[in-house]
Structure 1
Amino acid sequence: MISAEEKLKERIKELTCLYEVTSIIVNCDYDQIEDALKGILYCLQKAWRFSDVAQVKLFTDQYNIATADYPVDAVFLEANVQVFNKKVGEIHVAYPKPEYKLTDFLQEEKKLLKNVCLEVGNLLERKQIKDNEIIIKRQMERADRLGILGEITAGIAHELNTPLANILGFAELLKTRIAEDTQANKDLDKIINSAIFSREVVKKLMFFACEMPQQMTLVNINPIIVNAINLMEPSLNKKKIVHELNFNAPSIFLRVDTIQLTQVIFNLILNAIYFSPVKGKILIDVKETDDKVEIRISDEGPGIDPKISDKIFEPFYSTKPVGEGSGLGLSVVHGIVKSHKGVISYRSNKPKGTIFTIAFPKI
């Protein structure tokens, strides 16, 4: 039997625990929530009748925390942690076996554990709401940036097209006039090549800004993909890269803009070639299902750093050295896929590399 004095002491410990837990939650920094959860566990540890041997453990879908000497063989009380009325984990308060039994826990302690679990669930709910707000804010900021950049790049593309056409035209005329001057012809070839490169950047800008009119037709995409890859044979051979192309059907029909689909394949495979090691392997799988067509491109490169995962589809962002990339390739791909009502995603390849997956709906 527990004396009235002992009951009073236990009640004071429980109330102190609830006060301390509430204080921790009120003053919690959501960026350091794991420290707050550890503090709550130690508050619980002190509130139990046999606090010198009590150990506490919290495990959820995101956290797994325990006090220092949590016993392997234990008798314990448990209560559920719920977030938005869904169980996400549990808190256990344990005594070591065989010294202690389940009857050593007090009824008041069961109530206390449920109350603390309720408070922890509320804290995790607020953390999730905060995280969602941050994600939504970033998405809105990104959409706004992309909208502004779309307007700017459309203007830039139109402004550059005319002078670039003049440069190319007059350079070609000069070549015919000074055909006998070998050095001058070499210099003119450099001017022409640079102008062509610049024109390709302008085309990418116009793709990104949605200024290129789409011509959607129902076509067999298999030969389109084959032709695009064949054009990249010199780049593949230069790095001695082996590529494997697989279709799960001899003919796969999809309503697409043929030029834009070619642009998507070009950009993704050129990226894969660039980041692949010499004698690496690139795998291209094209799969048709009842409701969609999936194109998956796998490489064996270094992969994508998680720190930049939210930037890779942004225009002008590039991990390539200056002068080797405009930072428009993946943003162009993203824009084209989106305009086709599709989705582009990526994940890590095993043991190394990246897998880009494009899913086009069969409209």
Structure 2
Amino acid sequence: MGSHITIEDKLKERIKELTCLYKVSSLIRNNNNNNFSDINTLFKEIAASVKEAIRFPEEAFVEIKIEDFVFVEGRKIQDAIFIISAVKAFGKIKGSLTVGYSKQKFSENSFLEEEKLLLHKIATEIGDFLERKQIIEKEEIAKRQIERAGRLTILGEITAGIAHELNTPLANILGFSELLKEQYKDDKVASEDLKKIINSAIYSREVVKKLMFFSCEMPQQMTSVNINLIINEAISLLNPNFKKKNIHCTITFSSDEIYLKVDKIQLTQVIFNLVINAIYFSPVKGKINIDVLENSKKIQIRISDEGEGIQSVNSENIFNPFFTTKPIGDGSGLGLSVVHGIIKSHKGTIIHQPNSPKGTIFVVSFPKS
């Protein structure tokens, strides 16, 4: 097709281009207002608008590529002559916008300079849209994390109060039960009943102790230690648990000696709880990997399993006391809340993320200073 174009044709093309720009801006604005609800439909509509704005729409195809998303309006021609514009967000190329014709029918001159400018403007609009989307998503994540931290702080304060209130009556139950035990040592039935009371009180005291761990109320003995030794020791004690399910556990350290100021008993408890959880949710003959990494600012312990993973509906609650996905009798729901409390008292953080292809990775980070 020839490249000759009259003033009237030029005017028609300008109107088409301006209409396209207006429509794309409106589509993006509407999608912003709807919280980015249907991005696929948005890109399809943008591609259709661009195709209509091109000089020979019935002969053209428009392709929008954004990361994993690819949409083609019109029939894509392999042997094509085309113009392309990169879609960038925060200075990084996220995809491209392409308009093409058949090489057999068209030449380089078939594209107008204004069409190249139009393509660039729309690619810029898409890039700006992706930037806004990314900012809002990050804000949402930060907001959820702040809300969760706030909930856990309030929960910690309530829990600490409950733990202190329970300590005195439990001490009384244990003390008076021990006195009664002496009085009824010749009465076999009464002795057995008192033994049950004492065991129940001891169990309750352990729960209170765990609640105090969660609310950071336990005294700590902080010393600078080679945590590699503590982790190896904790894992060796769990060997029978690994054998029971034929689980293969590998531990890797980024260096032979990694020193950190911690409470040794509390760090052991963190490793124990996280690894016992990983064993519980792992399949038979599964793999558990423990990676201990050190850099100039922090020390990270990554514990990954090949279980079913944590459902998104539960992800916000797993560190709350008494929350458990295990069947009744298999767990008190205090393991991860204790872990959270200990890590928080060491000024560290704990997060979880999906493992690939399945499972969970718990990432514990401790600051070095």
Q: Which amino acid aligns with 1:13?
A: K
Structure-to-structure mapping, 1:44-55, within 5 angstroms: 44-55=50-61
The residue number in structure 1 matching 2:27 is 24
Q: Which amino acid aligns with 1:342?
A: G
- What is the CA-CA distance between 1:148 and the residue it aligns to? 1.1
- What is the CA-CA distance between 1:333 and the residue it aligns to? 1.9
Out of 144, 156, 176, the residue aligned to residue 170 of structure 1 is 176
Structure-to-structure mapping, 1:66-81, within 5 angstroms: 66-67=72-73, 69-81=75-87
Q: Which amino acid aligns with 2:149?
A: A
Structure-to-structure mapping, 1:184-223, within 5 angstroms: 184-223=190-229
- Using the TM superposition, name which of 246-255 and 202-211 deviates more: 246-255
Out of 149, 152, 174, the residue aligned to residue 146 of structure 1 is 152
- What is the CA-CA distance between 1:105 and the residue it aligns to? 0.9
- Using the TM superposition, name which of 150-159 and 18-27 deviates more: 18-27
- Using the TM superposition, name which of 224-233 and 131-140 deviates more: 224-233
Alignment of 1:125 with 2:128, yes or no, is no
Q: Give SS of 1:212's match.
A: coil
> Cα gap change, 1:66/1:195 in structure 2, threshold over 3 Å: closer, same or farther?
farther
Alignment of 1:224 with 2:230, yes or no, is yes
CA displacement, residues 164-204 of structure 1 (integer Å, 9 cap, x when unaligned): 22233334444444445555555444444433333222222
- What is the CA-CA distance between 1:231 and the residue it aligns to? 4.7
Percent identity at matched positions?
A: 58
Q: Give SS of 2:57's match.
A: coil
Q: Give SS of 1:120's match.
A: helix
Does the 8 Å contact 2:148/2:316 carry over to 1? no
Unmatched runs of 5 consecutive residues or more in structure 1: none
The residue number in structure 1 matching 2:336 is 330
Q: Which amino acid aligns with 1:76?
A: F
The residue number in structure 2 matching 1:302 is 308
The residue number in structure 2 matching 1:261 is 267
Q: Give SS of 1:75's match.
A: strand
Q: Give SS of 2:58's match.
A: coil
- What is the CA-CA distance between 1:253 and the residue it aligns to? 3.5
Between the aligned partners of 1:102 and 1:7, the Cα distance in structure 2 is 18
Q: TM-score, normalised by structure 1?
A: 0.85
> Cα gap change, 1:89/1:249 in structure 2, threshold over 3 Å: closer, same or farther?
closer
Does the 8 Å contact 2:160/2:215 carry over to 1? yes
- What is the CA-CA distance between 1:314 and the residue it aligns to? 4.2
- What is the CA-CA distance between 1:16 and the residue it aligns to? 1.7
Does the 8 Å contact 2:241/2:279 carry over to 1? yes
Out of 140, 143, 163, the residue aligned to residue 137 of structure 1 is 143
Out of 14, 17, 20, the residue aligned to residue 14 of structure 1 is 17
Alignment of 1:38 with 2:44, yes or no, is yes
Structure-to-structure mapping, 1:235-314, within 5 angstroms: 235-236=241-242, 238-239=244-245, 241=247, 243=249, 252-286=258-292, 293-314=299-320
- Using the TM superposition, name which of 241-250 and 108-117 deviates more: 241-250
The residue number in structure 2 matching 1:161 is 167
Q: TM-score, normalised by structure 2?
A: 0.84
Between the aligned partners of 1:253 and 1:163, the Cα distance in structure 2 is 41
CA displacement, residues 31-68 of structure 1 (integer Å, 9 cap, x when unaligned): 22332222111111111111012221222346433325
- Using the TM superposition, name which of 335-344 and 7-16 deviates more: 335-344
Q: Give SS of 2:59's match.
A: coil
> Cα gap change, 1:5/1:353 in structure 2, threshold over 3 Å: closer, same or farther?
same
The residue number in structure 1 matching 2:345 is 339
> Cα gap change, 1:198/1:73 in structure 2, threshold over 3 Å: closer, same or farther?
farther
Q: How many residue pairs were aligned?
A: 363
- Using the TM superposition, name which of 347-356 and 73-82 deviates more: 347-356
- Using the TM superposition, name which of 171-180 and 30-39 deviates more: 171-180
Q: Which amino acid aligns with 1:98?
A: Q
Between the aligned partners of 1:221 and 1:76, the Cα distance in structure 2 is 59
Between the aligned partners of 1:87 and 1:246, the Cα distance in structure 2 is 36
Between the aligned partners of 1:221 and 1:138, the Cα distance in structure 2 is 32
Does the 8 Å contact 2:291/2:301 carry over to 1? yes
Unmatched runs of 5 consecutive residues or more in structure 2: none
